[in-house]
């Protein structure tokens, strides 16, 4: 049986070059499906990486109890002070490593579209860089407290107009000057603009209020003890969540939508590609009808014939997958864009990501298309009566 499988399959594969026209149609069809499949899913993967694959588990975000985003959270400055006095927070010579923060949305044009987009403007405290050790100033300097100076995330600087070092812009009642650009390892923070929280409170009439407090724990394992200390304080009613978990939850809705749309589009296109593969394999079987009948007359069983046709279909699908995967990687991987985060109603800049995991999914999908495309032609080849096949031209 094994020798029959090897013999028939090798004959089929060596004859692919004799049917370049029909084989090329199947390859191009599958390659097109893979390009679209990877292109759409790379959007969701890039957004997920910007929102979820970052953050430090030693950094904890405090929100008002019952809320899950900074947009709906809020508490007074006194509550923020009580939070920062909670045991378990790392401290240095200047006090607890924490940053009470304020979050507003401002309208600002992108470089590609002159109409205003929603850009997050975050008011932070002096300890913001200590709380987020992965953030660093890569151009210019940090803003001076008490001034209308801002620092801009690298992604925001690339996506939105007039946000280079030295430029000025107007939001609220203030004119703001860009004094620095910061890098945050590709996280969602790079889509933000930072300023002094106290200045932002005055510009937007927020009084002495904040929407979140970012704190740095003494150690990663101390999260539960810190959370218990907050719960035991009757003066505080907050939700504590680690930074990576918070951003992962923020990306869930859009990531799910993009993946759903991607699979629907790829599924519809895949149906067309399967029909193309079916046509190709029927042509391949028809061109070798006498050859297959002769092999069966010599004692070759049906299973090696079926497997040989399916093997050819899979090989064609793998070639299509390789071409489509390479094209998608060259076209989409690393492409920068921005989209709306529906949970914060602000633009998040990110880069498309054609990851090994997505390429693996594309490989499985292409093999499935090849098997479906070759199944019925293979069945016909195995079921065709030998006498009838020998009489066909």
343 in helix, strand or coil? coil
Stretch 358-364: mean pLDDT: 90
The CA distance from 46 to 262, in Å, is: 14
Is pLDDT above 80 for 246? yes
Distance of alpha carbon 230 from alpha carbon 34, whole angstroms = 50
Q: Is it the case that residue 393 has pLDDT exceeding 50? A: no
Sign, Cα dihedral of 36, 39, 43, 49? positive
Provide the CA 48 distance to its chain's centre, in angstroms: 4
pLDDT tens digits, residue range 78-98? 999 999 999 999 999 889 999
Contact residues for 46 (Cβ-Cβ < 8 A; gap 6+): 350, 351, 352, 353
Among 191, 160, 195, which residue's Cα sits nearest to residue 179? 195
Which pLDDT band holds residue 3 (cuts at 50, 70, 90)?
low
d(CA 154, CA 181): 6
Alpha carbon distance 76, 163 (integer Å): 31
Exposure string of 293-318, with b = 16+ CB inside 10 Å and e = fewer, is bebbeeebeeebbbbbbbbbbbbbbb
- Assigned token pair, 344: 């914060």
In this predicted structure, the answer to whether residue 63 has a pLDDT above a threshold of 90 is yes
Find the mean pLDDT for residues 369-375.
79
222: Cβ contacts below 8 Å, ≥ 6 apart: 88
- Mean pLDDT to the nearest integer, 328-351: 67
CA gap 100, 92 in Å, rounded: 17
What does the mean pLDDT of the chain come to? 81
Q: Nearest-CA neighbor of 150 among 108, 115, 117?
A: 108
| pLDDT, greater one: 158 or 375 | 158
For residue 28, name the pLDDT band (cuts at 50, 70, 90). Answer: confident
Residue with tokens 């579209």: 113
Give the HSE-up count for residue 112: Cα atoms under 13 Å, Cβ half-sphere.
Answer: 8
The strand pair at 336-341 and 346-351 is best described as antiparallel
pLDDT at 69: 84
What pLDDT is stored for residue 125 in this prediction?
92
pLDDT of residue 97: 94
Residue-wise pLDDT for 259-303, tens only, equals: 787 778 777 777 777 776 667 666 666 656 666 666 666 666 767
The predicted pLDDT at position 274 comes to: 72
The tens digit of pLDDT for each residue in 184-242 reads: 887 778 888 999 999 999 988 888 999 999 999 999 999 999 999 998 888 889 999 99
Contact at 8 Å (CB) between 123 and 198?
yes
Q: How confident is the model at residue 171 (pLDDT cuts 50, 70, 90)?
A: confident
| pLDDT value, residue 60 | 94
pLDDT digits (tens, 9 = 90+) for 125-170: 988 999 998 899 999 999 999 999 999 998 888 888 889 999 999 8
Beta carbons within 10 angstroms of residue 263's beta carbon? 16
Place of tokens 């594969």: 13
- Count each helix (H run) and each strand (E run) in the chain, helices first: 12, 16
Mutual angle of helices 289-297 and 243-287, in 10-degree steps: 80
Q: What is the pLDDT of residue 201?
A: 92
pLDDT at 9: 59
Please state the pTM of the whole predicted model. Answer: 0.66
What is the reported pLDDT for 348? 62
Candidates 248, 244, 251; CA nearest to 58 is 244
Separation of alpha carbons 105 and 198, rounded Å: 16
């Amino acid at each position: 049986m094994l020798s029959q499988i090897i013999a028939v399959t090798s004959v089929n594969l060596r004859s692919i070059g004799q049917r370049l026209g029909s084989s090329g149609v199947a390859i191009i069809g599958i390659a097109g499906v893979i390009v679209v499949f990877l292109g759409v899913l790379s959007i969701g993967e890039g957004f997920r990486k910007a929102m979820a694959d970052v953050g430090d588990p030693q950094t904890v975000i405090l929100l008002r109890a019952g809320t899950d985003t900074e947009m709906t959270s809020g508490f007074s400055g006194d509550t923020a002070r009580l939070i920062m006095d909670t045991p378990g927070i790392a401290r240095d010579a200047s006090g607890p490593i924490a940053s009470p923060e304020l979050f507003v949305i401002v309208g600002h044009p992108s470089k590609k579209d002159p109409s205003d987009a929603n850009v997050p403007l975050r008011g932070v405290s002096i300890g913001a860089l200590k709380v987020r050790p992965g953030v660093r100033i890569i151009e210019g300097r940090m803003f001076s407290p008490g001034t209308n100076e801002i620092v801009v995330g690298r992604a925001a600087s690339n996506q939105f107009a007039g946000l280079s070092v030295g430029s000025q812009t107007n939001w609220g009642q203030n004119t703001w000057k860009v004094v620095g650009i910061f890098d945050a390892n590709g996280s969602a923070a790079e889509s933000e603009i930072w300023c002094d929280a106290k200045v932002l409170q005055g510009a937007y009439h927020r009084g002495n209020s904040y929407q979140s407090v970012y704190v740095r724990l003494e150690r990663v394992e101390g999260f539960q003890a810190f959370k218990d200390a907050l719960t035991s304080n009757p003066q505080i009613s907050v939700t504590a969540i680690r930074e990576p978990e918070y951003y992962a939850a923020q990306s869930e809705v859009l990531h799910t939508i993009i993946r759903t749309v991607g699979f629907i589009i790829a599924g519809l296109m895949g149906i067309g590609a399967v029909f193309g593969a079916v046509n190709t394999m029927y042509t391949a079987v028809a061109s070798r009808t006498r050859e297959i009948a002769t092999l069966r007359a010599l004692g070759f069983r049906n299973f090696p014939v079926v497997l040989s046709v399916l093997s050819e279909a899979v090989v064609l699908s793998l070639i299509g997958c390789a071409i489509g995967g390479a094209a998608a990687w060259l076209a989409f991987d690393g492409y920068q864009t921005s989209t709306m985060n529906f949970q914060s109603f602000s633009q998040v800049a990110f880069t498309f990501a054609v990851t090994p995991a997505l390429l693996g999914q594309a490989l499985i999908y292409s093999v499935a298309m090849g098997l479906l495309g070759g199944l019925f032609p293979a069945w016909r080849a195995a079921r065709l009566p030998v006498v009838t096949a020998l009489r066909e031209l």
